[in-house]
Structure 1
C-alpha cells in the first residue's frame, strides 16, 4: 500500500507516538479518517496486537478528524475514549476507519472500526473531542 499525497498541513499533525508506532495515514477528512499501524512492534508479551495500540489508533484517527473539523484558531482535545476488543491480530496491519457521528460547534465524536488484513473486526471504539480555542 502506498501512502497518499498528503496536504501540507498534515506535516504539523503527526506526534512522536504516531511515528514510533508506525502510523500511516490513508484518507483524511473531517467526516472520515483512515489509517493503519503494523502489528509488528505494537504487541503485548504474547506476541498479539496490544489493546493499548488499538487505543492509540482510535485516538489518532479521531483526533485528526476532529482537528480538521475544528478549523483555524481552534484545536480538538480528547475527552472520552472507549474501546471494545473483539479479536486479536498476530501479523500484518490493523487498519482503522473513523467516521464522524457528530460534528458540532464544541464537540466532535467519532466511531472507529479497526480491522485486520482479512477485514475481520479487531476493535470498535469511540472518541469524543472538545473543540477549544488554540492558545499555543
Structure 2
C-alpha cells in the first residue's frame, strides 16, 4: 500500500531518532515498526516508553489522516499494557480505529514481534481539530 504524500513529512525528530518505518497510513488503520536496537532500557530489553512512543505515533498519524492536512490532532490519553519482552529484531505496530467522532478518536494499537507474538496492547485517544469551512 502506498503512503499518502503528506506522510513523508509527518514523522517527528523523535520518530526519526527511534528508527520509525511507516508501512501504511489511513484514518482507520496505520502500520509501522521500530527496531529494538537503540530503543532499549539499561538491561537490554525494549523500553516500555518506546512502546508508548510507537503507539501514540501510529494512532496520531491515523488521527491526522482523519482530519486532513489542514487539521490538528493532539494525543490526550494513552494506556499501555506490556505482555512480553523483546531483546532484538523489530517491534511492529498496527493502530486500528475503535471510534472516530467529531472531536475525539480512539485507536487500539497492537505491538508484536517479528513472530507475531503480542508484546503490548495500547489504547490512544486523540483530540481532533478539523479545519473550519473558511480554512478549506
Match of 1:37 in 2: 34
- Partner Cα separation in structure 1 for residue 4 and residue 105 of structure 2: 22
Counterpart check, 1:78 vs 2:75? yes
- Partner Cα separation in structure 1 for residue 99 and residue 52 of structure 2: 20
Q: Please give the TM-score of this superposition, normalised by the length of structure 2.
A: 0.91
Task: Give the total of aligned pairs.
Answer: 132
- Partner Cα separation in structure 2 for residue 72 and residue 11 of structure 1: 12
Counterpart check, 1:63 vs 2:64? no
- Residues 1-136 of structure 1 aligned to structure 2 (within 5 Å): 5-132=2-129
- Partner Cα separation in structure 2 for residue 37 and residue 73 of structure 1: 28
Which blocks of at least 5 consecutive residues in structure 2 are unaligned?
Answer: 132-136
Q: Which runs of 4+ in 1 moved over 3 A?
A: none
- CA positional deviation for 1:8: 1.9
- Partner Cα separation in structure 2 for residue 73 and residue 124 of structure 1: 30
- Partner Cα separation in structure 1 for residue 101 and residue 4 of structure 2: 24
